[in-house]
Structure 1
Amino acid sequence: MSTVSESRAPVAAPAERWSSIVVLALSTFLVVTAEMLPVGILTPMSDGLGISAGTAGFSLAVTGVVAALFAPFVSRVIGTLDRRRVLVAAALLLAAGNLITALAQGFAVLALGRVVVGLAMATVWALAVALVPRLVRARAGLAVSLVVSGVAVASVLGVPLGTLLGDIAGWRSAFGALAVAALGLGAALAVFLPALPAQTGADEAVGSGSLLALPAVRRGLVAVTLVVTAHFAAYTYVRPALEEVSGVHGAGISLLLLVYGLFGIAANFAAGAAAARRVRATLLVLAIGITAALLLLPLLGTSPLGAAVVLVLWGLSYGGVSVCSQLWAVQAAPDRREAVSGLYVGAFTGSIALGSFAGGVIFDGAGLSVLLWSAAGLAALAALSTVSGSAVRAPAVAAERAATGTE
């Protein structure tokens, strides 16, 4: 039985709706591309707005803070609204946020645009994975990996293409293109998603208790917070890092980010399959890989080839973190999918904000070397945090896993 098939919620229709899964994957792709695009065009953004690279990087922190604060409350705010309509509205918000960003003339308007993007991102992430068991019954674990693959595909296609467009036509054009794409996403969601009314089943039945009372939920939040903070403290400033360490500029940055993203996609599906059986051990391996990549960048990344090798390792390591986070969440609290997904999204996006903010402070104040060492130390702590405690087991599938010998 797949990892998330333990849910006893009814599906939306008799047929398996893989077209809906694809559209949800497109949703995560676009919100992550919008969130992460400043990474690829950080230098031209800072030059165009007349602010430092660290300040421009804080725009990621703005998005992350908003998403972190809003995501845990998404299920309460939307109440009984049809989830399809909510996701269409989120796509329209995403379009508005990117348009505001494209028109910004200073940091204040830029921050406003990023606030709107953060609201859209929180809504998409709080619902996308939680809706999977209502759309497919067979191979729901694969469906989760497909939905979450939008993160890695954003690195492969979204950010590199946005970076390339920004280098060719200006960074504002990249955000304008995202606004148009978000409008198309809204139409696709309206067409391919079935009606998804709020359910009055398991989530509400156990919704009065605190999710933080569950040890597995707490352990997962600590591990995810540490590893995501470490990653984004460094990755937010990967363009200036590559320019400084490797001497790569322009299209070369896009190519290196493409390499990173390609291996991130492979890692997403590999980690999804592994985490379905041993989520804690999988996250441990990923955290160790991120630690090694951050330590190796200033040592091996002094040439374009060396930088590519480091980014391969980095992509293989971080590419699986998102799916591990989502699978940990649904295994830890399978009867409260929307609520626990929102909680994890809040922690995840809050960690993005914390990482990008702290990275900017360290990068501007102490330099690249201190930033990489600090991020590597935090990633090592994330690895250690996964070692303690018992394995994560979804209550509804614990007996089956015990019988099959899986963790």
Structure 2
Amino acid sequence: MPLGSVLGVPAGTLIGDLAGWRTAFTVMGALAVGVLVMLLLLVPPLPPIQTTRLGVLNGMLRSASIRFALLLTFLVVLAHFGTYTYVTPFLEQATHVGDALITTFLLLYGAAGILGNFLGGAWVARYPRTVLGLAGGLIAAVTLLLPALGRWEAGAVVLLIVWGIAYGAVPVASQTCFAKAAPHAPEAASVLFTASFQATISMGALVGGVVLDRSSPSAVMVLGGCTAVLMILTLGALRRTPH
């Protein structure tokens, strides 16, 4: 999932540039059908360890560790998708680059995301919150610096590479935080992680779009950076709070 989330937008952008956005949607649909076929033919039945009812999820929300994982995930994913969703308008209007170069920049971001995924994965088992905090800090730095340094192509591409490394570590770190918070209920923890992550992606894109309609891509970046800073401050406050 982390690799898909960092490669999806660059790949879709590349296909759209080469053959049009309708082709990108067609390819996505064909891939989805292929996944469905493979699920039906290749994946064996996997009986659940326990039935994940709403009561189980409500009970998990009474755990402070689960609530912390939810809060940190909400803030960092909101910061990322509120900004990255609109990185193309920023590159067009602030950096003044063409479609071909934007695709190249996003592919570099995707490659950096793969690196970040593996770097985060190497440390996340022992230090999940630290990895998540470092990723959030880098996202904050990148999005706050983009309005100033992203006006030049070199500055934009360097910041996008750092951004890719940072976000590549976010899903694996967040998922590990949920798993460690509820080791007795891995399926329920996975449900909370996936649902909260997907809901926040939609919310981030919505908030970023509203801000973009009323201001500029640079304002979107600054707002996302401030949200990521809030995530870092929250993590610091949680660490100072007794268990």
Q: What is the match of residue 352 of structure 1?
A: 201
Contact 2:13 2:103 in 1 (8 A): yes
- Deviations 1:104-155, CA, capped at 9 Å, x for gaps: xxxxxxxxxxxxxxxxxxxxxxxxxxxxxxxxxxxxxxxxxxxx43323xx2
Shift of 1:284: 1.0
Between 295-304 and 253-262, the greater mean CA deviation after superposition: 295-304
Rounded Cα–Cα distance in structure 1 between residues aligned with 2:38 and 2:187: 22
Contact (CA 8 Å) 1:268, 1:319: kept in 2 or not?
A: yes
Which residue does the alignment assign to 1:338? 187
Q: Which residue identity is paired with 2:219?
A: V
Equivalent residue, structure 2, for 1:5? none
Deviations 1:301-329 (A, max 9, x none): 12222111010111111111111111111
Partner of 2:35: 185
- Picking from 157, 168, 185, the partner of 1:308 is 157
The answer to whether 1:320 aligns with 2:174 is: no
Instruction: Give the structure 1 partner of residue 4 of structure 2.
Output: 150
Residue in 2 aligned with 1:215? 64
Length-normalised TM-score, structure 2: 0.91
TM-score, normalisation: structure 1 = 0.56
Q: Distance in 2 between matches of 1:177 and 1:159?
A: 13
Instruction: Among all aligned residue pairs of Structure 1 and Structure 2, give the percentage whose two residues are the same amino acid.
Output: 38
**CA distance in 1 between partners of 2:112 and 2:84 (Å):** 15
Alpha-carbon distance in 1 for matches of 2:81, 2:234: 18
- Residue aligning to 2:21: 171
The yes-or-no answer on 1:194 pairing with 2:41 is no
Distance 1:371 1:390, change over 3 A: closer
* Structure 1 residues 164 and 151: alpha-carbon distance in aligned structure 2, compared to 1, 3 A threshold: closer
Structure 2, unaligned runs of 5 or more = none
Q: Distance in 2 between matches of 1:357 and 1:208?
A: 26
Q: Figure out how many residues of one structure are paired with residues of the other and give that number.
A: 239
Alpha carbons 2:140, 2:226 under 8 Å: kept: yes
Are the equivalent residues in 1 in contact too, given 2:57–2:188 (CA < 8 A)?
no
Q: Which has the larger radius of gyration?
A: 1
Give RMSD over aligned pairs: 2.0
After TM superposition, list the pairs within 5 Å mapping 1:163-312 onto structure 2.
163-200=13-50, 207=56, 210-312=59-161
Deviation (angstroms), 1:249: 1.6
Hey, which bits of structure 1, 4+ residues long, moved more than 6 A?
none
Question: d(CA) in 2 for partners of 1:379 and 1:161?
Answer: 26
Deviation at 1:164, TM superposition (A): 2.2
* 1:261–1:315 Cα contact (<8 Å) kept: yes
How many Å separate the matches in 2 of 1:316 and 1:240? 21
User: Which stretches in structure 1 are left out of the alignment for 5+ residues?
Assistant: 1-27, 29-147, 392-407
Give the partner amino acid of 2:10.
P
